[in-house]
Amino acid sequence: MTHIRVAAAQYPIEQVQSFAAWQEKLTRWVEEAAALGATLAIFPEYAAMELAGIDPERAADLTASLDLVMQFGEAYDRVHAELAARLDIMILAGSRPVRESDGRIVNRARLFCPDGTTGHQDKIMMTRFERERWGISGGDSINLIHTPIGPVGISICYDVEFPMIARAQAEAGAKLILTPSATDTMQGYWRVRIGAQARAMENQCFVVQSPSVGMAPWLPCMDENFGAAGAFGPPDGAMPDDGVIALGQANGPAWVVADIDLAMVDQLRADGTVLPFRHWPEQHVPFHIIQNGAGSDVIAQMASDAARDDAPAAPQIEDQEIAE
Taking the whole predicted model, whether its pTM rises above 0.75 is answered as yes
Q: Is the pLDDT of residue 117 over 70?
A: yes
Helix (H) or strand (E) holding 178: strand 176-181
Average pLDDT, the chain: 93
Query: Which amino acid is located at 168 in the chain?
Result: A
Residue 254 contacts residue 246 (beta carbons within 8 Å): no
Is residue 242 domain-resident? yes
Q: Is residue 244 part of a domain?
A: yes
Mean per-residue pLDDT, 115-143? 97
263: in domain: yes
Q: For 58-76, what is the mean pLDDT?
A: 98
List % helix, strand, coil for the chain (3-state, nearest 5).
35, 30, 35
156 and 82 co-located in one domain: yes
66 and 194 co-located in one domain: yes
* Same structural domain, 183 and 240: yes
Residues 6+ apart with CB under 8 A from 128: none
Query: Do 305 and 240 reside in the same domain of the chain?
Result: no
Which entry of 50, 113, 123, 130 is annotated as an active-site residue? 123
Task: Specify whether 164 is located in the same domain as 306.
Answer: no
Does 189 lie in the same domain as 153?
yes
Helices assigned H by DSSP within the chain = 19-35, 56-59, 62-71, 73-87, 128, 163-171, 186-203, 263-271, 276-279
In angstroms, how far is CA 123 from the centroid of its own chain? 8
Are residues 157 and 282 both part of a single domain?
no
Residue 131 has pLDDT above 50, yes or no: yes
105-110 average pLDDT score: 98
How distant is the alpha carbon of residue 21 from its chain centre? 26
Q: Which of 248, 274, 300 is the C-terminal boundary of a domain? A: 274
Could you list the residue range(s) of the whole structural domain that residue 138 is in?
Answer: 3-274
Active site residue 123: yes
pLDDT at position 48 over 50: yes
Q: Is residue 69 part of a domain?
A: yes
Residue 316: inside a domain: no
Digit-coded pLDDT (tens) for 8-43: 999 999 999 999 999 999 999 999 999 999 999 999
Q: pLDDT tens across 138-163, in order?
A: 999 999 999 999 999 999 999 999 99
Chain segment 194-223, per-residue pLDDT in tens = 999 999 999 999 999 999 999 999 999 999
Catalytic residue selected from 50, 113, 130, 157: 157
Mean pLDDT for 72-78 is: 98
Q: Residue 304: its pLDDT value, please?
A: 46
Answer yes or no: do 129 and 244 share one domain: yes
Residue 320 lies in a domain: no
My answer on whether 167 and 228 are in the same domain is yes
Query: Is residue 157 annotated as a catalytic residue, yes or no?
Result: yes
**What pLDDT is attached to residue 323?**
39
**Per-residue pLDDT at 324:** 41
Q: Are 14 and 212 in contact (CB under 8 A)?
A: no
Domain end marker among 247, 274, 301: 274
Give the domain CATH number at 141: 3.60.110.10
Residue 319: pLDDT band with limits 50, 70, 90: low
- Whether residues 253 and 298 fall in one domain: no
100 is catalytic: no
- Which residue of the set 45, 50, 130, 161 is catalytic? 45
- pLDDT at site 303: 45
Q: Look at 35-49, 97-111, 282-296 and tell me which has the smallest mean pLDDT.
A: 282-296
Residue 298 shares a structural domain with residue 235: no
Assess if residue 324 is contained within a domain: no
* Mean pLDDT across 298-307: 48
- Residue 135 forms part of a structural domain: yes
Structural domain total, the chain: 2
Nearest to 152 by CA among 167, 123, 173, 171: 173
Residues 269 and 286 in one domain: no
Q: Is the pLDDT of residue 302 over 60?
A: no
